[in-house]
Amino acid sequence: MALDTTETGENLCEFHAVEAHPSRPQRKAIPAGQLLINGKWINAEAGETMDVMDPTTEASITHVQKGSAADTQKAIDAAYTAFEDGPWGRMRHEDRAKILFRMADLMDERAEDFAIREAMDMGMPYTDFRTIIMPHCSGLFRFFAGQAMAHMDGSYRTSYEDNIRILTRREPLGVVGAITPWNFPLALTASKIAPGLAAGNCVIHKPASDTPLTALALAQVALDAGVPEGVYNLITGPGGAVGDALVRSKKVDKIAFTGSTSVGMGLIRNGADTIKHQTMELGGKSPNIIFADANMEAALQAAFWGIFWNKGEVCVAGSRILVEQSIYDEFVEKFSAMAKAAVLGDPLDPKTQLGPIATRAEYDKILKYIESGKQDAKLMAGGGAPKIGGKGLFIEATVFATNSNDIKISREEIFGPVVPVIPFKDEDEAIRLANDTDYGLASGIQTSNLGKALRLADRIKAGTVWLNTWHKYHPNAPFGGYKASGYGREQGAEALENYTQYKTVWANLG
């Protein structure tokens, strides 16, 4: 079955609005990147740089600075001074909000540049970025600008003394280190920087070494929007040096981390000595439960985009598909046909559904999982790694049929376009399999019975449950994990809890 998301009207995930961008955007020269410290672009002290690779052409795009612990210390000092002595944390909420609204407008004005950078850097389809990611990212800045204005202090009386007033103030934490992964570089940065700045903190962003290009563009937006010097700093460089220096510094009050569970566990340990506030957005192995009473076409769409969007390099990918036994064979047959028809290609081509895998290391890792799947399960579609025009880190949309939730491909986060499809007998077994994982990031239930869907949503241990859809996001919807998928919430008014602290002032009116 060919997957035509523009004509069926069945595309519940609203992906790939091909008609929105009929002309094909082009690769472009990206200037070399520098570090942003205290409002100035500078080179790393040691003079070292890192190459940035395009996974489609396998050629170098540009280079960025290889920041060190010493460079990071400079950024920490700048942010600390800006917080202690500068205007940002003390500014009227409305004035801070104006700057964040300006950032959002500049992001939208420069959307084309952001989209080309993300396509070249991490292989994200240009069209998906322009139609889904970019509005979400600028929307996050607008949403938190609004929250900054609603950032109210409280006032209470005691029940026992009329002359006592209790005043609660919500204050910023201080210096926030934002450490982000390579899979949604701009979105995961915006979801930390927007609430961090809105609450009055000063930030230091450390992007993933493989995908720093939109981070550079966002830091320039902050400068152009009038964020005061020292309030927004950017250090590119290895996690073990730059990220670690942020995590261990006494002057950094909070780490907002998105990445793998194993690295996150290390950060929690390393931050203990400085009583660091931390939020952890970690890995996932999210179950998509498909009942026999679901609309088959809609369920196929939700399953297809659930796992194959952004080539499966998505923390909330529907990476375990659980299907009711009575429709299992029909579903696997149709779903495998969709996977075989998936369009791989240059992410700048509007027709492309799956771009290349972002990095060579991930590409090699995914191919090993495919080999493991071939040993343990039945390969139904994909499994290959074609070159396009002789180049590129492409992996086909790959489907395995298996009865087991215990084999490697059913348990571990593959983080690529590979999915096991597992049958279940009844509701109880579906929920048992869904929760039989260390992770708890996302989940989904596809059924025409809304009562059943809501009842079962209560029983799933995951931070997000999508009913009859997948991959829905909004700035006002809290997002985060249960269990090994982490703690703390990003997005939504709830996120500000993680970027602020309360002060209680007791006043005796005499």
Report, as residue numbers or ranges, the catalytic residues. 281, 315
Our CB check for ligand NAD shows the closer of 176 and 267 to be: 267
Main-chain phi, psi angles of 386, to 5 degrees: -75, 150
Residue 415 near ligand NAD by CB under 6 A: yes
Question: Interior CA angle at 177 toward 171 and 180, to 5°?
Answer: 130
Integer distance in angstroms from the first to the last C-alpha of the chain? Answer: 78
Which range of residues in 3-11, 14-22, 179-187, 288-296 is near ligand NAD by CB under 6 A?
179-187
Which segments within 259-315 are labelled E, that is strand?
Answer: 277-281, 287-290
φ and ψ at residue 326, rounded to 5 degrees: -65, -20
User: Which of the stretches 15-23, 25-33, 64-72, 177-185 binds ligand NAD when contact is defined by CB under 6 A?
Assistant: 177-185
Least separation in angstroms between residue 181's CB and ligand NAD is 3
Tell me how far apart the alpha carbons of residues 111 and 105 are, in angstroms, rounded to a whole number.
10
* Cβ closest to ligand NAD, residue 392 vs residue 440: 440
Contacts of 336 (CB under 8 A, 6+ apart): 380, 381, 399
Q: Among residues 370 and 401, whose Cβ is nearest to ligand NAD?
A: 370
Alpha carbon 217 to chain centroid, angstroms = 18
Which tokens hold the place of 336?
């495998």
Residue 250 neighbours by CB distance under 10 Å: 12
Identified binder of ligand NAD from the candidate list 260, 274, 295, 372, rule CB under 6 A:
260
Residue window 282-311: x/- pattern of binding to ligand NAD, with contact defined by CB under 6 A: xxx---------------------------
Strands (E) located in 362-440: 378-381, 398-401, 418-424
User: Counting contacts by CB under 6 A, is residue 383 touching ligand NAD?
Assistant: no
Site string for ligand NAD, 122-161 (x = CB under 6 A): ----------------------------------------
Neighbours of 468 (CB within 10 A): 17
Site size toward ligand NAD, by CB under 6 A:
32
- List 280's β-bridge partners, or say none: 257, 487
Would you give the binding string for ligand NAD spanning residues 210-239, x where CB under 6 A is met?
Answer: -----------------------------x
Q: Does 240 bind ligand NAD (CB under 6 A)?
A: yes
Decide: is 481 part of the binding site for ligand NAD (CB under 6 A): yes
419 binds ligand NAD (CB under 6 A): no
Give me the phi and psi of 154, to 5 degrees please: -115, 165
Closer CB to ligand NAD, 230 or 284, in the complex: 284
**267 touching ligand NAD, by CB under 6 A:** yes
Q: Is 200 in the site for ligand NAD (CB under 6 A)?
A: no
Three-class secondary structure of residue 42 per DSSP: strand
> Measured on CA atoms in the order 320, 412, 125, 2, is the torsion positive or negative?
negative
CB atoms within 10 A of CB 196: 29
Q: If binding is defined by CB under 6 A, does position 33 make contact with ligand NAD? A: no
Reduced to 3 states, what is the DSSP secondary structure of residue 49? Answer: strand
| Site mask for ligand NAD (CB under 6 A), range 96-115, x = bound | --------------------
Instruction: Give the length of the chain.
Output: 510
- When binding is defined by CB under 6 A, the residue of 35, 78, 216, 315 that contacts ligand NAD is 315
> What type of residue is 324?
E
**Using CB under 6 A as the criterion, which residues of the chain lie in contact with ligand NAD when the complex forms?**
179-184, 188, 206, 208-209, 239-240, 243-244, 247, 258-260, 263, 266-267, 281-284, 315, 413, 415, 441, 481, 485-486
